[in-house]
Every structure is written in C-alpha cells, then in structure tokens.
A and B are shown apart, each in its own frame.
Chain A
Amino acid sequence: MTGVLAQASPDGVVGSSAEFWMFCLAAVLALGTGFSVVVLRNAVHAALMLVINFFAIALLYALLEAQFLAVVQIIVYAGAIMVLFLFVLMLLGIDSETRFSDRVRGQRTAAVLLGLALLFVLVGAAAGPFLDADAICPVQGGAGDLCVGLEAANADGNVAGVGRLLYTTYMWPFEVTSALLVIAALGAMVLGKRRGDEDVTDLPVAQDDETEPAPEPAGELVAAGEEEQP
C-alpha cells in the first residue's frame, strides 16, 4: 500500500498541495515543540513537548513514505525512551520549577557552540547535493533531475526495503551501533550499582537484592557486583 499522500498526488514526485500543507503543519509543530523543550521550566512539560516533537518528526517520515521509520520512531522514542525519561522525572520529583545552575563550567557556551556546529553539519549534509546544479541527484545522474528512486526502493514494500539495507549494506554500522548501546547500558548498570549500594538499602527493592543475586546477564557484571557485597 502506498502512502496517503501518494494517492493524493499520482505522480508521487512533485509535492501536492496536501503534502505541502502537511509538511508545513509538521514543521511548525516540530520547531515549536523543540523550542518549548528548551524554554519551558517544568521538566515534565518539557519532556511532553519532546514527545509531541517526536510525533511531528514521525509525521515527516510518513510524508516521505517511510512508514516503517515513522512507526519505529513512535515505538522507540515516544514509547520507550521518553516514557523512561518521564519515569525518572516522576520518581525523582523534578517537576517543580527549579532552575539548575551549570554543573560543568562553561557548559552553556559549549552547548551553544556545539549546537551551532551540528546545525552546520546537518544543513551541509542535507542541502549539499542541491547546491551544485550537476549534483542534484547523484543516483539519477542527470543535471537538474529530481530523485525519483522512491518507487524502486519501495518496490518490495517499505519494511522489506529497510530490512534489506540494514542487514546487507549497513550490516556493520548496525551491529556496531547495537554493541555500543549494549556497552553503554552495561556501563550504566555497573556505575549505578557501585554508587547506589549504601544509600538505597532502606528501599524495599534492596531487600530483594539481598535475598537473591541480581540477574545480570554478563559475567563481568556479576563479578563487579560481588566485589561490593560484604
């Protein structure tokens, strides 16, 4: 099944007015909510704005006929990551309008500079192909050609297309990324366990830790945990 917008514009290349207006809606929503995330003082409100931002970006993906990416964006970012964020915010009770001072000196300056650098890189990557008239679509090769590879890429369906790319051409980056994420998660667990041992003992969860060994999946972790236990 092709996207709703492809039905609205049979040629599927030149944006129809519906696609244009949907893009405007999604873009305004994404920018507005993104700005609110920075400006809002209430941490939970800011997190909710980020959730709406993720939905706006999912809408943009859907407009580009990347259905799979859109739905994964919702499942992973809105459904898993932001829920965990909210969970922590609620547990720690950082919902009052507190103003945090800089933990690291020069944090703000660095954030602004790095943010600007990222902006330049992204704009360069996105707009680069369009700056030179000969290179509008390197795949199609013709000067002034628009990229019309979408139907070919989605021939077997969007899901199959993404899956094939992910497990053939981009297999190595994909696996490296997942290994990186696993390492990060394990590292967080190790660090969290070391620091939390003394002051968490009065929580009911800690009693369970005493009676049964924690079910860490990896050997190093159990070793690290056992060192701590008297």
Chain B
Amino acid sequence: MQDTVWIVTVVLMASAAGIFLWVATTAENGAEDSGPLVASLYRLRPWLFALALVVIIVSNYKALTALPYVSRPGIGPVQAVNVLGEQWSWTITPDHVEAGRPVEFHVSSKDVNHGFAIYDERLRIVAQTQAMPHYVNVLRYTFTEPGTYRILCLEYCGSNHHAMATEITVVAAGVQPGEAR
C-alpha cells in the first residue's frame, strides 16, 4: 500500500506545483483586460467542486470498507496474543503465531503511551495500534508470509524510545517454532 500512496501523492503534489509554476511563469505577460479571463476561470470552479466531491465520496467509501476496527471472519480459529508495553520493552505472549490464521493482538501499556507496530522482513509496517495505559486496543491481522517480524515502538515514550524493540515469529501453518519451515 505504501508504494501506491507514495506515487499518488507525488503525482498530485507535482500536478499542483505544475499549475502554480505555469500561472507564475505566464503571469508577467499581462493581458490587456484580464477581467473576462478571470471570469471564465471562476465559471470553472463549480465543476472543480463537483469533481472534488466525487473524489471525496468515492475515496472515503472505499476507505470505510477497509477499517481495521471491524472484526472480519478469517480462515481458522483466531490466535490471541497479549501485548504489554512498558519503558522500554515489550512482553508478548505467545511470541509466535501461524501464518494464514487471523491473529488478535490485545495491546496495552503498563506506564505511558507506546505504539505497537509490526514490521515485516523488508522493514515495512504491516499493521499497528497504540498501546495505552488503562485501555486494551485489539488489533486484528492475518500474516500471509512466515518469517521474523520486528516490533518497534511508534509512539514517543522517553529517552530510550528508539530501543524499544522485539520480534515475533510467524510460522507456516502446522509448523512448531524451531522446526524447519
């Protein structure tokens, strides 16, 4: 997902910059009477508004069908994992799960706010939620690839925040940790 978001963002930012640059570089050649030109631009605005509205409705509808908060049926029984953050370590029980089956991380904190982020072996975030004192956030995720996943803290939590890291192991279905994949 990150690559798509990056490309769309760069294209949109570059398009906006292109329009501004074009207006800026042509502006010094002033029109005799820019009134009619400007009026024609203003006639364009309702159409731009309509276009923006369509983009907003379609994008938001699509996004709302993929909320991480809603439980969806998965293949096989759910694997429950308890996660507790504290300055500056994670306690994760159990620390291994099976790929292909949904995992429910029950995430909380013993002291301050932390961020529970799961990184794959390419160092890309696959899912995250906040770890808060007094609250349990339930993060549902199904790993598709076996491997070693890093857990990093993504909410600033004090002077050793960057070192608050651990790992979880995702094994292929039916394989015990330590066995060959």
Are these two chains actual partners, yes or no? no
* B→A interface (CB under 8 Å): none
Interface residues of A, Cβ cutoff 8 Å to B: none
